[in-house]
A and B are shown apart, each in its own frame.
Chain A
Amino acid sequence: MKNQLLFIAVIVLALAMVFGAMGCAPVDQEEEVSPPPDEDVDEDVDEDEEVVEFDGEIKIAVTGPMTNIQGEMMWWGAEMAMNEINEDGGVTIGDETYSVRLIQVETDEIMDPLGAVSAVENVIISEDPHFLIGGFRTEAVMPYTDLVAQDYQKIFVICGAATNELLEGRIDEDYDTWKYLFRVTPIKSTDLVTVTILMLNEVAMAVREELGIEQPKVAILAEALEWNEALVQMAPQIFPTLGLEFVGTFRPSATASDVTTELRGIEASGAQIIYTIFSGPVGIPYGRQWGELEIPAASVGINVEAQKSGYYPATDGFGDYDYTLMTFAQNTEITPETIPFIEKFVDLYGQLPNYNADTYSAVYILTEAAERAGTLDTDAVIVEMEQTDRISAAGRFVFDENHDVTFGPGFVTALGVQWQDGELLGAGWPIEWQPDPENAPDLVVGHEGMVPYQLPPHVLEQWRE
């Protein structure tokens, strides 16, 4: 009898285990809810002595690799916008005021890009957010934009993946399916490339002037990824039109930890300029080894790692004078918003904002569109999103026909930034940029506060000998 009871008990226990393991557990699972607003918010509320009663809340999910710097930046930028909006009395939609609430979604997409889509679906089901923003690694963003647009018809604002194909070939070909997707930051990858070519031209002029070399030699050092493939193929044809000589392409892996061999090859090719295209971690060993070995070639292009405050210590200071594209810089007044935004961000979080931190603008663009629409209805908000015309830290946001950031003079252009003595400064481009010298010779674009580009001293020294 006793044995029989034991037997039944074991089976019941086993049943419970099976059910537990089978996913009854995820039911009561909840995504991490946004932390309470920062201390300074509480203080402000006290000062205002008037606590705003909200009628509801707008839920915005921030999806990103939250343990990594990219996700942190996304979260910080969005959090800053949320706190500002809530302090200012929230969002008025119709007759009601809404507060903004952010939901953090840890997608872990750097380690496990294909698992990220599960995290996104989970938050959509358990929290039913009105909007989603974020997304960093393209291999992860592709499936989760699929899911958000096709299965749940929610607005997703991409804040971190530059790949053209996330919007191109989708919205233009099947508007009704894909209209839910937008991109706020960064500019799409082909535009990024355009900017780096302009920056390269700037460096080439410096080489001509200061080293007296009429036709500088350029070597391409590009991580082996698809997004820069077109450029790597075209570069040998583009360079001669800029008066440059192409001497070779080196393509290390995006995660390589040592590029000394490649640097030796570049040095042997006699290049004066290294044109870098790095979005991955390889940017750091590159910067360090380039500086420590004093490779006699100026470095220009995209190095996403060099856009972060941590780059200087991580390269032990050897990354100084690396010249990379960036969204905004602390010394450069792209718009009147730029410097206050950066200063406040640095104040709150102790780091320079990188392009992921423009989730800040994304939150504003979404809430403002909802305000104009007077409803949180997705289709109505999309119509208003398309009308967006907003001055932000990075420039003037207007969405193009692909729901992408409009690139160009007067809109968002990005800029060149250079590490100069441990400071990341807007430098070289655009100071006197003539986007269209033939048709519009008077159109000159430049930002307040930028400093001139400086050739790295070790390059100057070695080529003057």
Chain B
Amino acid sequence: MAVIRMSMRYIRNEILVLPTRVIAVVFVLALLLMPLLTQDMYILRILAIASIFAIFAASWDLLSGFVGQVSFGHALFFGVAAYTTALLNLRLGWPPFVTIPIGALAAVLVGLLVGIPCLRLKGPYLGLATLAFPIMLMGIIFVFPGFFGGELGISGITRLASLRIHEYYIAVVLMLVLCYIMWKITDSKIGIIFHAIREDEIAVRASGINTIKFKLLAFCLSGLFAGIAGGLYTHFLRIAGPSMLAVLMSFQAIIWTIFGGIATIYGAVVGVFILFPTLEVLRAASEYRMLIFALIVLMVLRVMPEGITTFIRDKLERECPRCKVRNAFNRKECRVCYSEMR
């Protein structure tokens, strides 16, 4: 009884007070309960892929949004993990729960390899230089078509799980857990240093912090999460193909994240869960599909340049002028210090 009362109180005091928290909780519950509403394989597929891409987009946000190391070549991590996973599974017959972590580790390694030469680069230079990496890797894939399958990619991979609904839960739960971890990282002490590096790297270095270490750590972490996404995607689609390394793949992560709201993690998730299903729905519009999609992105960003989550959050919540605690927009006084909200 006491437990129920405590949890009720928690829900009332910590969740129901803020509309955005309510939305987040509803979103999570809806995702987890979705299979009760519909068993439609197509919807489960779209949501599973959206979950995988949400991990990918959030990993970009971690590196670029928080640490400010804007990467235009994020598909590199995705692709490296995808190919590693696929090769291990196909050639050695290892199951997904072994290949995906190894694929992610390969992405971490690549994160280090890319991170080290890029340490000296700043701002746009870094972003545009990272664009080169997936293209170079794509070149290598076509140099050894016998091994990497060239334009065919590597197919004949075991599926993530035997049933779609299992695959769905693997993708969704992993997405929720990993995004929560990423969110916690950005909230931790490391996250504060990440923030600081973005804002003023020299000042951070002056405070005696080894920025090189933290920047490399960011590359590795981001590579790890993007790599998990790549491995999941490969096992879900049962193929690793060169288009996973294409420029558009990298751009997609950036579009989703900035659309949702950069440097928030949850913005990346929201961006993917809005834009990816939209693009699917728009298949009905046939040849106007991408046009409508591009126009939506264009208009939304024109009106809400900080991204959709930041925009809505600012509409739904206000910061208490005195204690800086967030309040629902309709409150007359702060929920913590009872000072008047203006």
Partner of B27, one of A22, A118, A143: A22
How extensive is the interface on chain B, given as a class?
35 or more
CA A11 to CA B242, docked complex, whole Å: 43
Could you mark each residue 20-40 of chain A with 1 if its beta carbon is under 8 Å from any beta carbon of chain B, else 0? 011101110111100000000
| Residue of chain B at shortest CB distance from A108 | B289
- Residues from chain B with a CB closer than 8 A to the CB of A104 are 286
Please indicate the chain B residues that have their CB under 8 angstroms from the CB of A121 in the complex: 41-42, 45
Does A268 count as interface, using CB distance less than 8 angstroms?
no
Give Cα A111–Cα B247 distance, bound, in whole angstroms: 11
Q: Which of B40, B237, B330 contacts A117 (CB 8 A)?
A: B237
Whole-angstrom distance from the CB of B151 to the nearest CB of chain A?
5
Counting CB contacts under 8 A, is A10 at the interface? yes
Chain A residues numbered 120-176 whose CB sits less than 8 Å from any CB in chain B: 121-122, 125-126, 138-139, 142-143, 146, 151, 163, 165
CA distance A22 to B283 in the complex (A): 16
A67 to B288, CA, bound (A): 9
The verdict on B310 contacting chain A, using a C-beta distance below 8 Å, is: no
Q: Using CB atoms, name the residue of chain A closest to B20.
A: A14
In chain B, residues 139-175, which have Cβ atoms closer than 8 Å to a Cβ of chain A? 142, 145-146, 149-153, 155
B46 touches A (CB below 8 Å):
yes
Output the nearest chain B residue to A126 by Cβ-Cβ distance: B42
Question: In residues 23-53 of chain B, which contact A (Cβ within 8 Å)?
Answer: 23, 26-27, 30-31, 34, 38, 40-43, 45-47, 49
Q: Are B30 and A227 in contact (CB under 8 A)?
A: no
Q: How far is the CA of A270 from the CA of B176 in the complex (A)?
A: 63
Fill in one digit per residue for B234-276: 1 if any A CB lies within 8 Å of its CB, else 0: 0001110111100010000000000000000000000001100
Residues in chain A near residue B289, CB distance under 8 A: 106, 108
Contact call A142/B152, Cβ cutoff below 8 A: yes
Q: How far is the CB of A70 from chain B (nearest CB, A)?
A: 14
Question: How many whole Å from B167's CB to the nearest CB in chain A?
Answer: 11
Point out the residues of chain B lying under 8 angstroms from A213, CB to CB.
none
Asked if A19 is at the interface (CB within 8 A of a chain B CB), the reply is yes
Q: Judging by beta carbons under 8 Å apart, are B330 and A23 in contact? A: no
A27–B47 Cα distance when bound, in Å, is: 13
- At the interface with chain B, which of A1-9, A52-60, A397-405? A1-9
Q: In the bound complex, do residue B19 and residue A11 qualify as a contact, i.e. CB atoms below 8 Å apart?
A: yes
B34, A22: Cβ atoms closer than 8 Å: yes
A122 touching B42, Cβ below 8 Å: yes
Does A391 sit within 8 A of B, measured CB to CB? no
In the complex the two chains form, what is the Cα distance from A18 to B25 in whole Å?
11
B124 interface residue per 8 A CB criterion: no
Contact with A along B2-36 (1 / 0, CB 8 A): 00000000000000000100110011001100100
Contact partner, A118, options B31, B45, B153, B331, Cβ 8 Å: B45
Contacts of B286 in A (CB 8 A): 32, 66-67, 104, 106
CA distance A242 to B83 in the complex (A): 40
The chain A residue sitting closest to B37, CB to CB, is A24
Residue of B nearest to A147 (CB): B238
Contact with A along B279-322 (1 / 0, CB 8 A): 11101101101100000000000000000000000001000000
Instruction: Assess the A143–B30 pair: CB atoms within 8 A.
Output: no
Nearest chain B CB to A341's CB is how many angstroms away? 27
Interchain CB contact under 8 A, A225 and B40: no
Residues on A with C-beta less than 8 A from B155 are: 142-143, 146
For window 397-441 of A, CB contacts with B under 8 Å fall at none
- Contact yes or no, B47 A22, CB < 8 A: yes
Residue of A nearest to B279 (CB): A115
A224–B49 Cα distance when bound, in Å, is 30
Q: List 19 A-B contacts (CB under 8 A).
A: A14-B23, A15-B23, A18-B30, A22-B30, A26-B42, A27-B43, A29-B283, A31-B283, A66-B286, A106-B283, A114-B239, A117-B237, A121-B42, A139-B242, A143-B237, A143-B239, A146-B155, A226-B149, A226-B151
Binding site for A on B (CB under 8 A): 19, 22-23, 26-27, 30-31, 34, 38, 40-43, 45-47, 49, 142, 145-146, 149-153, 155, 237-239, 241-244, 248, 273-274, 277-281, 283-284, 286-287, 289-290, 316, 328-332
- A binding-site residues for B, Cβ under 8 Å: 3-4, 6-7, 10-11, 14-15, 18-19, 21-23, 25-27, 29-32, 66-67, 104, 106, 108, 111-115, 117-119, 121-122, 125-126, 138-139, 142-143, 146, 151, 163, 165, 224-227, 229, 254
- 8 new A-B contacts, CB < 8 A, other than A19-B30, A25-B281, A29-B281, are A22-B277, A23-B34, A106-B283, A114-B239, A122-B283, A142-B155, A226-B152, A227-B152
